Amino acid sequence: MTDVSARRVLVLNGPNLGRLGSREPDVYGATTFADLVADCEKTGAELGLDVEVRQTDDEAELVHWLHEAADGKIPVVLNPAAFTHYSYALRDACSQRTAPLIEIHLTNPATREEFRHTSVVAGVATGTIAGFGADSYRLALRAITSLTA
């Protein structure tokens, strides 16, 4: 890969993920958001990626970040959280992608409440990784590496 910008990856996180570690630890585990950021940065460095992790509870901000990624041809690892199930604005922003976009989830939505079974993002993502806890992020970064090699 010769384009330096292609090595940059945005890891974008939607609502409530900033509360990891204290939010429903029986569902989401004890890993804090700070732990997750450090792990993504470490994994990225091992893979030769410049990983930037962001989190927002604001749908509009997440949409703007996806526009930034599309305009810059930057691969994305996206945990849309609750926006997964209903945000057509997010889906439309994802559909404008110009580089791989991997949708991820800490838990497996298919094993949870019925309203979580539908992802409006999945149809425009390169792929989806779910149910592996923090490993979902590591797996997605490995996938990005393979897809952008």
Query: Which residues are CB-contacts of 67 (< 8 A; sequence separation ≥ 6)?
Result: 93, 96
Query: Which residues are CB-contacts of 92 (< 8 A; sequence separation ≥ 6)?
Result: none
Percent of the chain with pLDDT over 70: 87
Has 79 been labeled as part of a binding site? yes
Residue in 67, 86, 88, 105 annotated catalytic: 105
From CA 78, how far away is CA 86, in angstroms rounded?
A: 15
Assigned architecture for domain 4-148:
3-Layer(aba) Sandwich (3.40)
Has 92 been labeled as part of a binding site? yes
CA distances from 3 to 44, 69, 102, 146 (A): 17, 15, 20, 15
- Classify residue 117 by burial, with Cβ atoms within 10 Å: 0-12, 13-18, 19+: exposed
Q: How confident is the model at residue 4 (pLDDT cuts 50, 70, 90)?
A: very low
Has 101 been labeled as part of a binding site? no
Assess whether 86 carries a catalytic annotation: no
pTM metric for this prediction: 0.88
User: How confident is the model over 16-37, as pLDDT tens digits?
Assistant: 898 876 666 666 667 889 999 9
Assess whether 28 carries a catalytic annotation: yes
Tell me the domain boundaries of the chain: 4-148
Q: What is the pLDDT of residue 71?
A: 98
Has 85 been labeled as part of a binding site? yes
Residues paired with residue 102 on neighbouring β-strands, in sequence order: 77, 127
